[in-house]
Amino acid sequence: MHEEDERATIMKIAIPNKGRLADGALELLRRAGLRAEGKSERALQASLGNGFTALFLRARDIPEFVADGAADAGITGLDVIEETGRELELLLDLEYGRCRLVVAAHEDGVSDVANLPEGTRVATAFPRITRSYFGARDLPVKVVPVSGAAEIAPHIGVADVIVDLVSTGSTLKTNGLREITTVLESSARLVSRHRENNEAVVNEKLRELVPALESVLRARNKRYLMANVPRDALAEVSRVLPGISGPTIVDVVDSGLVAAHAVVDVTDIYRAIADLKDLGATGILVTKIERLMP
């Protein structure tokens, strides 16, 4: 293949350049077999291998870069995606960076958005989502865009309530605010342009990437358990280790034992080990799983 053809097959994935979304994206890609080589704090891009390159951008800019075709895919929060309003295909919920966009007011204020008086000022860094939310409920509020620290707005008279991101809600409580309702549940998402707008080589790369990331997510809360168990306890072993489609049983040469292998939910490991020991199991081994394909 000529050098220019090799460059043409490189797929560009836009990744946040800092913060929890950045760390989660790089770790997820690494576990899928795409490790950022030569990544430095100020790097603008890095090779991920296997025909992929990472572009490091501000999380809020990623939907724009993907929609305009400057990046072939991107990883950023659903809140950012919805705020830009760009037409993108949501390929996969990456199940990290979870947070909520909520309406919050003074602790002694209203407890239902329906009771907000006409003209209520709402401070937020998400004006598009906020206008859409209140507009859909026919609530005539005045949206006050702010660039950050929305929680201070009610205290300095800038707004009456806020729409802001929360994880635990502790920041709101510290500032004398409480949640009224949730506007949006957000997490990190993998996005691209709609498939019909992509070149064939990009769609082919997406058909590789999505299952690879899915296999990592599928393995997160699973463990691989192996144990030598008495052959005459097989019926009970199948109950203890149901696995994905039942345990895999392998003969142990010249013994009355068989080796039972199974994929087990991490929350079931403690009980499974205790039950296996009661059945006379030995050589019990539990390991993490990097990827799990169905």
CATH number, residue 256: 3.30.70.120
Is the residue at 293 inside a domain?
no
- Is the confidence at residue 125, as pLDDT, over 50? yes
Residue 72 carries which side chain, given as an amino acid letter? D
The residues that bridge with 249 in the sheet, in sequence order, are 260
CB 193 within 8 A of CB 67: yes
Whether residues 11 and 45 fall in one domain: yes
Whether residues 130 and 276 fall in one domain: no
Count up the domains in the chain and report the number: 3
* Cα 230 versus chain centre, distance: 42
Q: What is the mean pLDDT of residues 161-180?
A: 91
Is the residue at 68 inside a domain?
yes
Whether residues 15 and 115 fall in one domain: no
pLDDT in tens, 262-282: 999 999 999 999 999 999 999
- The number of residues making up the chain comes to 294
pLDDT band at 2 (very low <50, low <70, confident <90, very high): very low
- Is the confidence at residue 192, as pLDDT, over 90? yes
Domain span including residue 67:
3-97+188-219
Predicted TM-score of the model (pTM): 0.87
DSSP 42-68: T-SEEEEETTEEEEEE-GGGHHHHHHT
pLDDT at 8: 53
- Is the confidence at residue 89, as pLDDT, over 80? yes
pLDDT in tens, 31-80: 999 999 877 777 899 999 999 999 999 999 999 999 999 999 999 999 99
Residue 226 carries which side chain, given as an amino acid letter? M
Segment holding 211, helix H or strand E: helix 200-219
Q: Which of 219, 234, 261 is the last residue of a domain?
A: 219
pLDDT at 94: 98
CA dihedral 72, 76, 78, 79 (to 10 degrees): -130
Is the residue at 294 inside a domain?
no
Q: Which of 186, 203, 230 is the last residue of a domain?
A: 186
Q: How far apart are CA 185 and CA 86, in angstroms?
A: 18
Is the residue at 181 inside a domain?
yes
